[in-house]
Amino acid sequence: MTDGLLSQSFTSAAADTDRSVDPDLVARARAMAAKGTVLLRNENDVLPFTAGTRLALFGRIQKDWIAVGYGSGGDVNPPYVTNLLDSLRESGRVEVDLQLAQQYEAWCEQNPADPGEHWGAWPRHYPEMPLDDDAVREAAGRNEAAVVVIGRAAGEDRDAELAGGSYYLTDAEHALLSQVTGAFDRTVVIVDGGNVIDLSWTENYPLDGVMIAWAGGMEGGRATADVLTGAVEPGGRLTATFARRYQDHPSAGHFGDADVTAYVEDVFVGYRYFETFAPEKVLFPFGSGLGYTRFDIKPTGVHADEGTILVRARVTNTGDRPGDEVVQVYVHKPSGELSQPLRALAAFGRTGELAPGESREMELPIAWADLASYDDAGATGHRSAYVLEAGSYRFHVGHDVRSAHDAGGVDITELRVVQQLEEAAAVDPAHGFERIVLEHDENGDPRIGYAPVPTRTTSLKQRILDRLPEAVDPPVGDEPTFEEVLEGTAGLDDFIATLTPRELADLTYGDVTMDSPLGAAGNAGALGGVSRALRDRGVIPAITTDGPSGIRLSTHASLLPCGTALASTWDPQAVQGLCARHGQEMSRKGSDILLGPGMNIQRDPLCGRNFEYFSEDPLVSGLTGAAQVNGIQSQGLAACPKHFACNNQEFKRSQVDVRVSERALREIYLRGFELMVRESSPWAIMTSYNKINGVWGHYHYDLITSILRGEWGFTGLVMTDWWMRMAQDPDFPALHDSGYRVRAGVDVLMPGSIHSQQPVRDEGVLESHRAQDGLTLGEMQEAARHVLGYLAAVRPQGHRMGRGEREEH
């Protein structure tokens, strides 16, 4: 969302002062924040700190803990937020240096963390308290170890930047690390934040421990204390690669442009690029992370039939503490006509807790269809098809992408066409570019090559005309009410057929403002029964609230671990359990649709909303997203995954044109959405602000109608992000603004107004319908079918918590 002044006012005056939260939800949030914590270095088993260890805490973030990133994905009104200093003292398991703690507390009170005055202008870090060398040396004399805490934040409309205090450390932070490591024999660094930052400095200081405490919500401070003191394991594994330099990322140089971003790396995103072309440039590999015990993962075989590959491994706890391990399976596909990365994640699973010396057999199934590659150029002779090329498919099993061992392979003797599709959302011929492809040098070693990206060859206009939905005829007899549809005494199409063009148009708009009086105070907006005429016919409104890290209302609500923290657990089942309890809180607070999870790929470390997203890998993203949706929807409420698609930068997000090959779009940027739709059947999906190959997401027929609905079978409603760019349909001049949107298959404009400053709705739907060769009745009815179908299936409860009735627009 874009209007920070409006949205911030919702949380400034809470509708009630009830600070109580579900104890089980709190316990699950704390456990998940700890399970998502990633331990990257643990020299001489410095962690966990033993009982009674005397600790000196450095860095103001010990007190000013960063619980979440900025914007709609984090702007929750929690009843409290824990911090590391208080949590360690509360635990009683270690002795925190009192003198140093009091000094930091006094300084933080005198120099409060600046929350930022305007939307998108929040601080990315907080200035550090200066310390002289004598004070640090005196602290070293009183304590056995030091913990230095560094914090970072970014968010909506607030990308990170290549500067100190954002992607890089500040001079003051470097000075603090020099002071502390020079005085203490044992130093542990904790990075508290939601985004990948530069960690090259971890090689320059004598650090015994390095830990990433992803923004863990209101229980994040306690969760980090639990991990440091050994109450729980650091269960997290990286879901994105940490490179030695930002410039080593394949997206560097192709991020942050105001007008155009070409995804030249193509399918070689993140670890797919590094493992293939530049393994030496990786500091911490994808999937890596340490626990407090050790595991041996021994592959025991690969077995395949016509539809499935089964990879087996035996996992043994060889350490002296109980713990669990993440088993990761990577595939190396044969490089034939299509370029393939050296490794791609194919499956993963957690063992569950194993006692020292205990073993467990793991079986990880992989569908052959999920290993297919999309041929967007016809190189295999099958353009616009998912294919399995002939050759050996090798599987590697291990702790992370780098250390995984060869488990065996399966040979395919001839090419298989897994699914023949149609060209969709391809690059405009006027905007072609070159993408990375795999080549080999004279020694057979991989090297980067470039080839022109395939461009569009089909007519979108003709496709649309060929597939216009037919109108439904009115029923014979009395007009049914929507209550009769809900009771099962009338059919949905019979009801839709009796709606006037005005009523059909009303269903394609949300209420004209955020904080709709039809729902609980501070809501993000309402859809469905937003007009008096619709409510008189029994159509109830549904209330949306921002997410996914909590319910953004004026009342207090739980602030949960960020998306990266949840994904770093590599435990979809646990994510689903947490989100089921979250769904119960939604029901209590008056939210029908949570605007989340964030499903976009972490393409570049600087994207401000990476904390909301899960991973640079679509399999991790898809399965984690499905778990979140399944958890929420198990409570009879809706999740609304977003942003469909390619919302991978915040700078000029409603202006930038993402140019990406059809293959990369399908295999990387849409793949997580596809898996999520397949595994969880969400009732709603939200489009993105940006253009995809020249077309804004909310006007993108091929994304919404051809792929999401046509190929994947999605039957829910599609809504826009808040306040969209208005435009005329280039193929159909009679259509403009929301008429263009409805023809694309996007059902609802949210929050229903043209822009954020005035609650004025555009009339593009009716005007486009009344024009010659305009929007058809069948198209309007189709949008109504999606909205009313959702209302009939879920039966929202938010209207009962409304504060008033809005008159006819």
Give the other-Cβ count within 10 Å of 215's Cβ.
Answer: 29
In sequence order, which residues have a C-beta less than 8 Å from that of residue 704 and are 6 or more positions away? 644, 687, 718, 744, 745, 746
Which of the residues 721, 729, 747, 762 is marked catalytic?
Answer: 721
Query: For residue 138, with 0-12 CB atoms within 10 Å meaning exposed, 13-18 middle and 19 or more buried, which class applies?
Result: middle
Closest by CA position to 84, among listed 214, 187, 225, 234: 225
In sequence order, which residues have a C-beta less than 8 Å from that of residue 272 and are 6 or more positions away? 341, 342, 343, 344
Catalytic (active site) residue 721 = yes
CA gap 344, 311 in Å, rounded: 15
CA gap 603, 646 in Å, rounded: 9
Q: Identify the H or E element spanning 795.
A: none
The pair of three-digit structure tokens given for residue 419, joined into one six-digit string: 């699914």
Closest by CA position to 528, among listed 539, 537, 544, 512: 539
Instruction: Collapse the DSSP code of 671 into the 3-class scheme (helix H, G, I; strand E, B; otherwise coil) and give the result.
Output: helix
48-62 in b/e burial notation, b at 16+ Cβ within 10 A? bbeeebebbbbbbbb
CA gap 117, 588 in Å, rounded: 31
Contact 604, 70 (CB under 8 A): no
Calculate the alpha carbon distances from 190 to 41, 45, 50, 229, 704 in Å: 11, 16, 18, 13, 42
In 539-637, beta strands by DSSP E: 541-546, 593-595
CA gap 544, 683 in Å, rounded: 13
Calculate the alpha carbon distances from 648 to 152, 161, 611, 639 in Å: 19, 14, 12, 21
The pair of three-digit structure tokens given for residue 95, joined into one six-digit string: 């002795």
Closest by CA position to 80, among listed 29, 10, 36: 29
In sequence order, which residues have a C-beta less than 8 Å from that of residue 656 and are 6 or more positions away? 257, 258, 259, 260, 261, 649, 690, 691
Instruction: Collapse the DSSP code of 360 into the 3-class scheme (helix H, G, I; strand E, B; otherwise coil) and give the result.
Output: strand
Q: Identify the H or E element spanning 585.
A: helix 572-589
Closest by CA position to 603, among listed 347, 154, 373, 262: 262
Cis ω for the linkage preceding 501 (within 30 of 0): no
Enumerate the active-site residues. 721
